[in-house]
Structure 1
């Protein structure tokens, strides 16, 4: 049971840190129109994934747990998409976003696996 609590706390820290790093990235974006538009989309999804993971941890039912976890998977995948777009549109360099992309990829893998291993009628 302690391992589960530690894992949840670690993931809460990781998602919150990801959101904070995303805020810092947004502040560092070039002051162009396209950077602002893509940046805002990224910022929304990155902060949403952290908030929704927190909600996963407070789910009141099996259905709510599954639904919130599904939102976390979607928001994490969307965050990864916006990071890729920032690079491919040459708004930011791959090198500057490599660590955030790696973290988004790892988080997506964890959350997608958790959802896959969870039925709508959670244990």
Structure 2
């Protein structure tokens, strides 16, 4: 499962980056695109860091960062949907993928918390 999520989060970042190349060069598109590229790539980078965590607490803390970055990615996709007149289907697809990744991460955090409580 870890390898599947590593690949999925990397593809998510690459797809967000590719999306951003399709927008016109403008102040608002550049600002939102740059933020989307940063946070979407951070989803995968921090997930990989979580996979190398030194303890359950470290794993959970790193997954919390993944949660924040996935939610932030969705936010910038929402903003781009508001200000852009093209690529709406791709933005909606990426938003849905971000939401799925977010759901997986939140479920993993909850599983770790439950396991820690039982110990």
Aligned residues of 1:86 and 1:92 also touching (Cα < 8 A): no
Aligned to 2:21: 27
Aligned residues of 2:67 and 2:105 also touching (Cα < 8 A): yes
Give the alignment of 1:55-66 within 5 angstroms.
55-66=49-60
Question: What is the root-mean-square deviation in Å for CA atoms of aligned residues?
Answer: 1.8
State the shift of 1:97 in Å.
1.1
Task: Spell out, residue by residue over 1:39-70, the C-alpha distance to the aligned partner (whole angstroms, 9 max, x if none).
Answer: 11111100001100000111011221011000
State the shift of 1:91 in Å.
5.4
State the shift of 1:96 in Å.
2.9
State the shift of 1:92 in Å.
4.2
Return the TM-score normalized by structure 2.
0.90
Alignment length, in residue pairs? Answer: 117
State the shift of 1:99 in Å.
1.5
Residue 113 of structure 1: which of 95, 98, 107 is its match? 107
Aligned residues of 2:19 and 2:90 also touching (Cα < 8 A): no
Aligned to 1:36: 30
Aligned residues of 2:74 and 2:95 also touching (Cα < 8 A): yes
Residue 73 of structure 1: which of 67, 75, 84 is its match? 67
Aligned residues of 2:46 and 2:65 also touching (Cα < 8 A): yes
Gap runs ≥5 in structure 1: 1-6
Return the TM-score normalized by structure 1.
0.87
Tell me how far apart the structure 1 counterparts of residues 103 and 5 of structure 2 sit (CA, whole Å): 12
Tell me how far apart the structure 2 counterparts of residues 96 and 61 of structure 1 sit (CA, whole Å): 37
